[in-house]
Every structure is written in C-alpha cells, then in structure tokens.
C-alpha cells in the first residue's frame, strides 16, 4: 500500500514520462514516414532512369520533384498548425502519405509518377515541421532535446527500413524485373506505415501550448498534469499564458528588435544543414557506390549500412544532446563532416575509391547523425515564440527544403558533367559540400546560443533581452 501511495505521489509531483514517451513515439511516426518517403527513391532512382529513359536533368527532377511538394507542404503547414492545431496537420499528412504510396506504385508514365511524388512531398513537408513542433510542446524542458531528437531517430529509422526493404525487393528478380515491377513494390510498401500513423494519431491529445493559445485552458491543464505532474502543471500553464499575452501573433513580431536574429539564425541553420550534402548520400548513395565500381546489389547493401550507421549515431546524439549541449555537438560533428567530405573528394580525384572511400562516406554519415542531423531540428523547435512558432518554423523549414531541392537537382548535373569529370574525377561536388561544412562550423561557433536545459519561455525571454 505504501509503495502504491509513493508511486501516486511521485506521479503527482513529476508527471508520467511514460506518457511523454508514448506521445513522442506516435508523433515521431510522422518523422519515420518522412525518412521512408524520401529514402525510397535511392534504390528506385536508377531503375526509373532506365524505365523512363531519363536525361541527367530529368533524373534530378524525378528525385527532387518531391521537394517542391515539401516546400508547399511546409508553407501551408505552418499556418494550418497555428490555425487548426498540430494534431490535425499530422493526420492530414498521414492521409497524403498513403495516397502517394499507392499513386507512385501504379503510374503509367513519368508525369503521373511525379504528380504523386509531389503529393508525398506535401506530407513530408508538413510532417517535417509539425512532428518536432508537437514533440517540443508536449515535452518537459529537462528532456525536450532528447524527445525532439527521437524524431530525428525516427526519420533515420525510416531510411534504414526502406533501404533494407528495397534491398530485399531487388533480390526477388533480375534487373529487367526490377525495372518493370520491383520499383513499384518499393514505393507501394509505404502504404502500411501510413495507415498505422493515421490510426494512432486519432488517440493523441492536442499540444497544451496550442490549446492555451485557443483559450482551452482546462484541456491544456489536464494534459500538462499528465506530463509534468499536477503540482507543476498550473505554474507551467501560467508561464505559457504570460508568454502568449506578450505576443502579437503576427510574423511581424519576428522583425521587432531582438527577434529578427531568431529568424535569421533559424533560416541559416536550416539551409546549412542541407547544403553540407547529406541528402546527396541519402538519395544518390547507390549511384555514388556504383561510381566507385560496385555492382547494384552491393551498392544497395552499402546504402543499407549507411542507414544503420546513421541510426546508431543518432542514438548517441539523443542521449548526449541534453548533457553535452546543442552547440558542442554541432561544432564537433560539422568539423568531422567537412574532413570526411574533403577526404572523399581526394579519393575520387586520385581515383582511389576502394575501402578508404567507403570509410569516408561512413564517417561523414556518423558525424552528421551525431550533430546537425538531429540537433538542428531541436534548435528550430525551441527558438521561436509560442504564438507564431508554427509559422516561423514553417519559414525555416521551407528554406531547408528549398536548399534540399537545389542540392538534389544539381548533384547529378555536376556528377555527370563531362568537363568536371575530366578535371576532377567526380570530386568536385564533395569539395563544394566540404566548404559548406566550414561555413556551418563558423556560423554555429559565432552566432548560435546554447539552449540546453532552458524552458521554451526562458528561451523566448532571452531573445527579448
């Protein structure tokens, strides 16, 4: 009896971390589908080139068209999440994920395929912003970095799952079978996790911060009590209300003195995360490994190992981001990324693309996953004011997806350019991405503040000061 009473007292004082983890994992399924949807193209890309006889420019467009959908999704998701709630936007994303999976599996021509890939991009864009936003707003400050990092872990899990599924689908037939049928199964397999996300989202509550903004304080207090404990819930609610009362709810608030720097930092971080080259490896990995001289089945296996490494080092980031801090992880990780990309470029330049080149790719992925992969999403989910967090994060995420589009569209154009191949032997793009890592390192060191252990309200007050 005493043990039961002690447990109830502890729950009253501290809330239920089990409940926080449960909500986080459900929301992070949106991140998992983000990774699944964007990663499925890696194995299918080469098959689509042959199936539809695509040029280098069309190859880039077939891969990057989804990113146009992502930008549109982000542009609308910010407004919709502030207007109708984080939960409803996630539900809409799940529906779009399902429709895209079915549509990209059954197209008769490349135009139809591109249309449904862009629909999937709408879902990815909305989920990429709304999932970490929701998680940040239901997580206590002491574990918020870890909780938001779980979303990045889910994104990586989506990549890993689809890489292995693609690998095993490819093994079911020869090259001709994969060019006709295999790639359809690769895209269609996304329908099952999309249905799972839709069913689970029906049971989750809305964000307490969004509910407070809508004057639904009783509902917000009930959720905060389960999250933080009833003893702390009322004081947390009062802090949220006080912060909201000082906000205008307009994006013009970000142009006020002390606030402009928030938007600038958010946008630059988002862009730099992408132009350091991560999605070149995630989308074109098998193509890069084939350039090194590996056959398609081995290239797909290497790509699956890329996902496994990403998963492992994202776990390390999750357990260290609230201990070592956001800034420290970004600095050491970005330095390692730049060094690995510089070395990979040298390996291509001197045409020494054996085991060392593979290790450079793996090292780059490990450093990214330990640092700016999860940590940039943590920072973006923390730094904006509550009332306009959805729209402000939407702007930063929109810029992120635009940078992703530029990188994805231009890589095959640089990699297949005869003049660049003659001069640099496929090294040129990797040296460009390495230089961007140097820019990222200097920017984080000089301009990004540490937010470890601070509540969202404390972070907002810091900018105002």
Query: Distance of CA 320 to CAs 1, 139, 328, 403, Å?
Result: 37, 17, 10, 28
Which residues of the chain are modeled with pLDDT < 50? 1, 7-8
Gap between the Cα atoms of 374 and 394, Å rounded: 17
pLDDT in tens, 4-46: 555 445 555 566 888 889 999 999 999 999 899 988 988 888 8
Gap between the Cα atoms of 155 and 44, Å rounded: 19
Q: What is the DSSP code (8-state) at residue 1? A: -
Gap between the Cα atoms of 324 and 307, Å rounded: 24
Contacts of 131 (CB under 8 A, 6+ apart): 27, 28, 30, 31, 34, 90, 151, 154
* Per-residue pLDDT at 1: 46
* Per-residue pLDDT at 451: 78
* Per-residue pLDDT at 356: 86
Copy the structure tokens of residue 52. Answer: 């539809």
Q: For the domain bounded by 16-204+246-464, which CATH number is listed?
A: 1.20.1250.20
* Structural domain spans, the chain: 16-204+246-464
* Per-residue pLDDT at 213: 87
């Amino acid at each position: 009896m005493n043990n039961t009473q002690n447990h109830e007292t502890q729950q009253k004082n501290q809330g239920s971390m089990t409940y926080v983890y449960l909500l986080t994992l459900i929301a992070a399924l949106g991140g998992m589908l983000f990774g699944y949807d964007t990663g499925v193209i890696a194995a299918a890309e080469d098959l689509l080139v042959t199936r539809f006889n695509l040029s280098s420019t069309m190859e880039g467009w077939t891969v990057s068209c989804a990113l146009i959908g992502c930008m549109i999704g982000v542009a609308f998701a910010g407004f919709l999440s502030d207007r109708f709630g984080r939960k409803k936007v996630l539900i809409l994303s799940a529906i779009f994920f399902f429709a895209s999976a079915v549509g990209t599996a059954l197209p008769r021509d490349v135009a139809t395929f591109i249309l449904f890939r862009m629909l999937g991009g709408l879902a990815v864009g909305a989920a990429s912003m709304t999932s970490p936003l929701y998680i940040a707003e239901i997580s206590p400050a002491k574990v918020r970095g870890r909780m938001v990092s779980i979303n990045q872990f889910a994104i990586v899990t989506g990549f890993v799952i689809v890489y292995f599924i693609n690998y095993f689908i490819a093994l079911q037939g020869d090259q001709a079978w994969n060019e006709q049928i295999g790639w359809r199964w690769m895209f269609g397999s996304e329908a099952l996790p999309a249905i799972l996300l839709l069913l689970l989202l029906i049971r989750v509550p809305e964000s307490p911060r969004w509910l407070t903004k809508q004057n639904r304080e009783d509902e917000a207090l009930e959720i905060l009590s389960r999250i933080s404990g009833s003893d702390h819930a009322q004081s947390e609610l009062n802090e949220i209300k006080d912060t909201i009362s000082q906000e205008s709810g307009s994006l013009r608030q970000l142009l006020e003195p002390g606030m402009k720097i928030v938007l600038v930092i958010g946008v630059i971080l988002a862009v730099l995360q992408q132009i350091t080259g991560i999605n070149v490896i995630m989308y074109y990995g098998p193509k890069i490994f084939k350039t090194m001289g590996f056959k398609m089945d081995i290239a797909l296996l290497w790509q699956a190992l890329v996902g496994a490494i990403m998963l492992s080092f994202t776990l390390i980031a999750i357990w260290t981001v609230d201990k070592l801090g956001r800034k420290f992880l970004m600095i050491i990780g970005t330095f390692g990324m730049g060094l690995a990309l510089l070395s990979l470029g040298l390996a291509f330049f001197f045409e020494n693309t054996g085991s060392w080149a593979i290790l450079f790719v793996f090292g780059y992925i490990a450093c990214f996953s330990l640092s700016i992969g999860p940590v940039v999403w943590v920072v973006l989910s923390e730094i904006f004011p509550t009332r306009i967090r959805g729209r402000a994060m939407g702007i930063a995420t929109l810029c992120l997806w635009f940078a992703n589009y530029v990188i994805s569209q231009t890589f095959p154009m640089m990699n297949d350019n005869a003049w660049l191949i003659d001069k640099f032997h496929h090294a040129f793009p990797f040296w460009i991405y390495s230089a961007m890592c140097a820019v990222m390192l200097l920017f984080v060191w000089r301009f990004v503040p540490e937010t470890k252990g601070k509540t969202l309200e404390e972070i907002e007050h810091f900018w105002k000061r």
